[in-house]
Structure 1
Amino acid sequence: MTSADAAWLQMEEPTSLMVITAVLWFDGPLDWERLTEVVRERLVERYPRFRQRVVKSGLLGTPHWEDDPGFQLEAHLRRTKLPAPGNRAALEALVGESMGTSLDFSRPLWELHLIDGSQEVGGALLMRVHHVIADGISLARVLLSLTDEHASGGAGRELFEEEERNPGTLVRLLRGAQTVVGSTRAAWKRGAELLAEPIQLMDLAVEGARGASAMSRLLTLMHDPPSPFRGPLGVEKRVAWSSPVPVGKVREIGHGTGSTVNDVVMAAVAGMLRRYVQARGQAPEDLRAVVPVNLRPLSEPIPRELGNRFGMVFLPLPLGLGEPLERLWELKRRMDRLKRSPEAAVMFGMLTAAGMAPTAVERVAVEVMRKKASLVLTNVPGPRRPVYLAGAKLSGVMFWVPMAGRLGLGLSIFSYSGHVTLGVAADASLVPDPRELVQGFEAELTAMAEAVKAAGHSPLH
């Protein structure tokens, strides 16, 4: 097991499970027998991790994988009855309940539920996979590799929405991350005495990656201010997601302001959080989001061993700005600056170091996230065209990574078939009704479109 993967085992806590959750809903019911065969052929037989369990070593030993001698596919595939009234709210409640339930570490760390009894959707799937197996982007690709281009079958090539970015940015981040990994391993060979000096270990981990200034920035960031999203966590989680928003609607706002689709959606998220804070009588202040950055090109085949290959950046969301367009332009400026930063590679190095040093460095990495950010924000690209699973047409997808660092709010943006959906996962003690946030997101997109029109910009010219 790589050190970066092992780090996600060490961050597991009862109130903060390191489990990636996906829910898929369909136009019609799924055939159980056909679904079972698809999972067997394209998941279990293709990727060994889904047949293996984690074996934890001693205090300083790295955990490792071993084949589960008693593996049975049927133990990981379950049929679940959706409680009445069988609508989306009931499905959201079921997904939220699952987020507070840990996986069984005596066997492979994943499970798939076929959910029956939904009236608003023809069928639904709930999949839970521990982060130690792979990162969110890789698992999204794995999950969508189960789908076909046609109802009759025939898996098609991957058709993911590429993130709008300078192609050179990913190359620079990937090279930096590779340097970080090499330097971290070299540092570890110097001996266990480095455990007593976590800062020294992290300094060595980022040599050659332009990481000194980025590391300094991470460690000296002011703590995020108090907000409704910060506080002690409980076991109970709750989720909600928006109605799919046509990408064309978002793109019109972007055309009118010189912004990308991603800029617009992120700005809408900032406005949504501002609305929520104001509704509770608090003055909105900027909050930081931990944003995972994929370090494995989408053109690169997924390795059979899967694993984690991503970094993280801290994005300050401009909640303090009251005008929607000002918030959008400031958000775009901050995003552009982060794209040129080695911060993602530095955080990859910190996670690698955390996996090597089970106590000191892991504690530093978690504290950086807990104190200096208020939420996790992910953006996962999906297929551009409709796809099918076990003969049923996929209508929508939502995907959440763990709220690492003892954070209480996770936001996910998923693009699929020309639409964007926002999902909210939250600690129930902090955000009792995540539907309020979803409504704020939808209202903020409308407000941004009206602001573009009022400012005299023409979205199409």
Structure 2
Amino acid sequence: MAEAERMSRVDTAWLRMDNEVNLMMIVGVWLITPGITLQALRERVADKLLKYDRFRQKAVQDAMGATWVPDPDFDIAHHVVHATLPRVKGQGERAALQALCGQLATTPLDHDRPLWQFHLVDGYEGGSALVARVHHCIGDGIALISVMMSITDGGADPPKRRRRGSADAEAGPHEGDWLADAVLKPLTDITVKAIGMYGGGVAKSMEMLSHPQQGLMGSLDMAKQGYQVVSDVAALALMADDAPTLLKGKPIGRKVVAWGEPLPLDAVKVVGKALHCSINDVLLSCAAGAIGGWLRAQGEDPTGKEIRAMVPVNLRPLDKAWQLGNRFGLAPLVLPIGIDNPVERVYAVRQRMRELKGSYQPLLAFAVLAMAGLFIKPVQDAVLGMFAKKATAVMTNVPGPAVPLQLCGSTLRQTMFWVPASGDIGVGVSILSYGGGVQFGLITDQKLCPHPQEIIDRFEPEFQQLLLLALMLPWGDEAESL
């Protein structure tokens, strides 16, 4: 049985971040054809997922934080269960599954057990639907996608950890203070001195986080590096609260989810190539257009408005994703929802994405999360509440496997997941590519947006506008290279 482990500061912050309107669960949906049995799923989970210690451990809080402790009463029957779709007269299967996801997103996990659960729905659209719920303190989206892939047919086991203390031990959860390694290496002694050129107060605050004995990791342009850090600190501290819209307000804690059919990824690439934009630029522009169009339909004029979405930024090597835990920062991405012209909007998104490149804001946001894990919960809530005021949504944009996967001999034909929002943020946006398609999903608070499918249904028309314009452009010989 796995031994007890002290929880990291960042994971502790996520553990304590549950509130009355937002639970810190990552919720995912897998659509599987043909259907699989509960017994087969339990056997696969026991054989693969339980090789990761976290899924056998429960989180025990104390005055100083929390500890991962093996659950002596672990029973897979508590974690892999059957679920029945809530049926309303005249409601289709997808709407019923979306209603179930909304219910589960607002149902707390049992903190006396390991913080995860799978719900298998039999007979969904001729196959099965699997709804997964995992508390964010176990891992971030990148880590959990990597781990979830392990239960698919041919999925890899986690690397075996050697005995702790051996000279060649595999770096794992005990590899030391990861905050210092990943966040503070760019903020070494020379960088702190550079910050001091621009403001002693900022320099002192960074020295609280820094280790004086750390060496310089690579050559740094002192003035340039210091100016960038100071600029990003100021940007985070002085960022105004987000623009008021129907999507910004006090949630009531009842969740509604929606998703659409995938768009062909090749078509998205065509648009990006024609407009000299990235795939992300195209997709985020479509999301901004869908939200702006929905606001207009509700009688709110978004002209000239922008909203912020906090976007997770991975801070770990991808080959270490199996280690679980949270190792990501947050970047405030501005979505120009008030630009009606689709080409103008996609170029506006491209410009905002470029402005984020090279920014220290994700690193600084990670440091804030780490420090929040040291505070008592009321102080942590106050610190993280400041982030929530400055954003309308949390957004994830994740590239998944390029070919469809198999689970227990059946095909995983479609997948979607949502990350939780902190504080009073009531909108979660997910863009996920998988099996040659890319799709848009939403989870919203019922008070702020009771019918998120109305936004989802605007995503493809926004894309079709860009595709039509792209195909009308002069291509010449470039078309042959697509």
TM over 0.5, shorter chain: yes
1:51 is aligned to 56
Deviations 1:357-410 (A, max 9, x none): 234762454233211110000012211111111111000100111012320000
Distance in 1 between residues matched to 2:434 and 2:251, nearest whole Å: 32
2:247 is aligned to 229
2:310 is aligned to 290
Amino acid at match of 2:71: D
Whether 1:216 aligns to 2:234 is yes
2:182 is aligned to 178
2:344 to 326, 330, 335: 326
SS at match of 2:244: coil
TM-aligned CA deviation for residue 127 of structure 1: 0.6
1:77 is aligned to 80
1:35 to 37, 41, 45: 41
Distance in 1 between residues matched to 2:157 and 2:58, nearest whole Å: 30
Distance in 1 between residues matched to 2:56 and 2:140, nearest whole Å: 18
Distance in 1 between residues matched to 2:207 and 2:234, nearest whole Å: 10
- By relative contact order (CA 8 Å, sep 6+), the higher-ranking structure is 1
TM-aligned CA deviation for residue 77 of structure 1: 1.1
Amino acid at match of 2:319: S
Whether 1:272 aligns to 2:290 is yes
Amino acid at match of 2:45: V
Distance in 2 between residues matched to 1:340 and 1:21, nearest whole Å: 31
1:147 is aligned to 152
2:319 to 280, 299, 309: 299
2:456 is aligned to 438
Distance in 2 between residues matched to 1:438 and 1:72, nearest whole Å: 38
2:428 to 410, 424, 428: 410
1:346 is aligned to 364
2:218 is aligned to none
The structure that has the greater radius of gyration is 2
1:238 to 256, 260, 269: 256
User: Would you say the 8 A contact 2:59–2:66 is kept in 1?
Assistant: yes
2:14 to 8, 19, 41: 8
User: Would you say the 8 A contact 2:146–2:321 is kept in 1?
Assistant: no
TM-aligned CA deviation for residue 33 of structure 1: 2.0
Residues 125 and 255 of structure 1, relative CA distance in 2, 3 Å threshold? same
* Percent identity between the two aligned chains: 37
1:355 is aligned to 373
1:167 is aligned to none
1:401 to 419, 442, 457: 419
SS at match of 2:413: strand
Amino acid at match of 2:43: E
Amino acid at match of 1:283: D
- Report how many residues are paired: 423
TM-aligned CA deviation for residue 460 of structure 1: 2.8
Distance in 2 between residues matched to 1:356 and 1:182, nearest whole Å: 22
1:281 to 285, 295, 299: 299
TM-aligned CA deviation for residue 223 of structure 1: 1.3
User: Would you say the 8 A contact 2:427–2:445 is kept in 1?
Assistant: yes
User: Would you say the 8 A contact 2:419–2:428 is kept in 1?
Assistant: yes
SS at match of 2:422: coil
User: Would you say the 8 A contact 2:242–2:390 is kept in 1?
Assistant: yes
Distance in 1 between residues matched to 2:271 and 2:278, nearest whole Å: 9
Whether 1:63 aligns to 2:60 is no
Distance in 2 between residues matched to 1:357 and 1:200, nearest whole Å: 20
Distance in 2 between residues matched to 1:341 and 1:176, nearest whole Å: 18
Amino acid at match of 1:204: M
User: Would you say the 8 A contact 1:426–1:434 is kept in 2?
Assistant: yes
1:254 is aligned to 272
Deviations 1:89-139 (A, max 9, x none): 111111111111111111111101111132x25111011000010001111
1:460 is aligned to 479
Bigger CA drift: 198-207 or 447-456?
Answer: 198-207
User: Would you say the 8 A contact 1:81–1:117 is kept in 2?
Assistant: no
CA RMSD of aligned residues (A): 2.7
1:132 is aligned to 137
Distance in 2 between residues matched to 1:66 and 1:427, nearest whole Å: 33
Residues 200 and 41 of structure 1, relative CA distance in 2, 3 Å threshold? farther
Deviations 1:239-277 (A, max 9, x none): 000101110111111011011111110111111111112
Q: Unaligned 5+ residue runs, structure 1?
A: 149-153, 159-173, 185-196
1:168 is aligned to none
The TM-score with structure 2 as length reference comes to 0.82
1:95 to 91, 94, 101: 101
Bigger CA drift: 68-77 or 197-206?
Answer: 197-206
